[in-house]
Amino acid sequence: MRPHVELIQENDYVWHGAELPGGEGRASERRLSVDEEDGSCSLRVDFHTRWGRGPGVHHANTEFHVLEGSMTYGGREYGKGAYLYVPKGVPAESLVFAEGSKVLHYREYGDAGFDAGAAKRWDDAREEVIVLDTEAMQWDAVPNAGPMPGLFIKYLHVDPVTGFYTRLVHAQEGWTDHRLAHHPCYEEAYTTQGHMEYNFGTLDLGTYFFRPARVKHGHFTTQEGGATWLLRSDGELMNWYTQSEWLRWGGEAVNYSPEGGRMAWSASSHDLGPSKRSEKDFEELRASVAYQASVGEVDAPFFPHGTGTDKSLIAIAKALDAAALQGGHDTHGHAHSHDHDHDHAHSHDEVEIPALSFGPAPSTLEHADERTDHLSHNWGAGRAWKQGDPIPAPILSTLPVRSRSTGRWDGEGM
């Protein structure tokens, strides 16, 4: 499983010699994210010279997408926007990248192994090679654009068995989503054009994230010129929305308060306040709410962080009330003495206090097999999901493994 990487600018990564066995030429790679368990990785590769290798078989599902330059596959040259998908175990033809090419390169469910010259298809191999000129493809409206229109897609690869898919997505200027979402699968994206703001930072050219399954994210507002990404998910991207969200954490500092002693501390997402967003952002978020209402979709009142009542304080008040009530007779505050004789008839039987509900426990929202399968140790691992299954609880991430972007408010993860 890959760690949560959100949001990072590719310029923050160091260059390594590219791991492209069997080829001739010189190239460097930036390792955007790596799964040290199975070898899966997402890379930005620069080719300093012409690079090429002959036919062979990859040990991982392999993808290339040309950001700049050109790619020649099987003797046919493709320019900017070229896309190549080669399933593991399926014979691939010769591959060449021109000097100066800049490429996104992905390996999934395997390492960089390459059997040069191999022509035999593996017995368990699935799917076929895909080669696309994405610049020539038409943008289609996405099947479910969220709360408002203006989101478009180009499908590059869809696995018919697992639902794994790679696509280019474009949000036009002004496309907004005022809700937080989580998914049953992982989601990763590299920004190829434009500018978008959201709760983990700023998505602009060269920014990247890898978000494990079920991590909450959202509050998208798309800026001038729109924004485009190459996105990948290891399953169907179902959207489960949350709104009017809150988060509060606290504890006691033992040895790091300003006075060197103990200090109670607490923070809430509400404390971040509205100043992190521009007034234009708020206008777009309100437009998203209005559009959702105009088409009759299910929604809830929207309160930007730092506005309205802090819902975390209401929850804390409820919890304190529940604790006092559960204390029963021993906690009532009247002051009369109990030394007098108890010959009067009043009863001291405990009054039954109804349990107060704060919503279902996350464990009750899990699939039955989620805590017993081979990935039970990792909540962020994706699970197959179909309509009618319980919707798993989200994972709240306030500080991802890496969080460096050109954004104004990364860290408010929810």
Domains and CATH numbers, the chain: 5-136 (2.60.120.10)
DSSP of 54-107: -SEEESSEEEEEEEES-EEETTEEE-TTEEEEE-TTSEE--EEE-TT-EEEEEE
Handedness of CA 144, 237, 198, 267 (dihedral sign): positive
pLDDT recorded at residue 414: 45
The count of residues in the chain is 414
Say which amino acid occupies 218: G
Choose among 198, 263, 226, 157: nearest CA to 405. 198
Q: CA 162, 189, 195 angle in degrees (round to 5)? A: 150
Q: How far apart are CA 161 and CA 109, in angstroms?
A: 15
Phi and psi (nearest 5°) for 176?
A: -140, 150
What's the pLDDT at 407? Answer: 41
Distance CA 112, CA 43 (A): 12
Which tokens is 191 given?
């920004």
Q: Give bridge partners of residue 264 from the DSSP assignment.
A: 252
Can you give the pLDDT of all 414 residues of the chain as single tens digits? Answer: 888 898 889 998 999 999 999 999 999 999 999 999 999 999 999 999 999 999 999 999 999 999 999 999 999 999 999 999 999 999 999 999 999 999 999 999 999 999 999 889 999 999 999 999 999 999 999 987 778 899 999 999 999 999 999 999 999 999 999 888 999 999 999 999 999 988 788 899 999 999 999 998 888 999 899 999 999 999 999 999 988 777 777 777 777 776 666 666 677 777 766 656 678 888 888 889 899 889 888 888 877 777 778 888 888 888 888 888 877 544 444 444 444 454 544 454 555 655 656 666 766 666 665 656 777 767 778 877 888 888 888 887 765 555 554 443 333 444
Query: Which positions ≥6 away from 7 have C-beta within 8 Å?
Result: 200, 201, 202, 203, 207, 208, 209, 400, 403, 404, 405, 407, 410
CA–CA separation, 319 vs 89, rounded Å?
A: 56
Residue 139 is encoded by which pair of tokens? 């943008």
d(CA 83, CA 229): 14
**CB 238 within 8 Å of CB 385:** yes
pTM of the model: 0.84
CB 52 within 8 A of CB 101: no
Task: Give the pLDDT confidence score for residue 410 in this predicted structure.
Answer: 37
Question: Which position has the token pair 């900017």?
Answer: 80
Helix (H, G, I), strand (E, B) or coil at 401: coil
Tokens 């700023």 -> residue: 202
* CA dist., res. 123 & res. 127, Å (int): 12
pLDDT of residue 308: 78
Could you tell me how many helices (H) and strands (E) the chain has, helices first? 2, 27
Place of tokens 């790596």: 34
Distance CA 173, CA 151 (A): 10
Residue 154's pLDDT is what? 98
Task: Please tell me the predicted confidence (pLDDT) of residue 261.
Answer: 62
